[in-house]
Amino acid sequence: MADEEYIPLAHELGIQHCYRAPSLNTNASFIQALCELTLDQLENKSDNPAEFSSFPELIAAQASR
């Protein structure tokens, strides 16, 4: 069942406050930041995927374009 189908079902079941949260999946700034992070990790061959300290800065930089 697709997530869009759950809202009418929730309403049928008496759940009136059921909403679909917006997503960054297709936001160009988000995609660009993911690309840059991925390339950076591949270039640095980091063994620690938690080393994404630049993520907030990348998002801010892309959002300001």
31-62 pLDDT, tens digit per residue, is 888 888 888 877 776 556 555 556 666 666 66
Q: Tokens for 34?
A: 């993911």
pTM above 0.95, yes or no: no
Q: What is the pLDDT of residues 11-31, one digit of tens each?
A: 999 998 988 887 777 888 888
Domain membership flag for residue 65: yes
> What is the domain extent for residue 33?
24-65
Residue 33 included in any domain: yes
What is the domain count for the chain?
1
Question: Which tokens go with 10?
Answer: 């929730």
Element (H, E) at 35: helix 28-44
- pLDDT at site 41: 78
First to last CA, the chain: 37
Q: Which of 15, 29, 20 is nearest to 2 (CA)?
A: 20
pLDDT of residue 39: 86
The confidence score (pLDDT) of residue 10 equals: 92
**Cβ-contact 29, 12 below 8 angstroms:** no
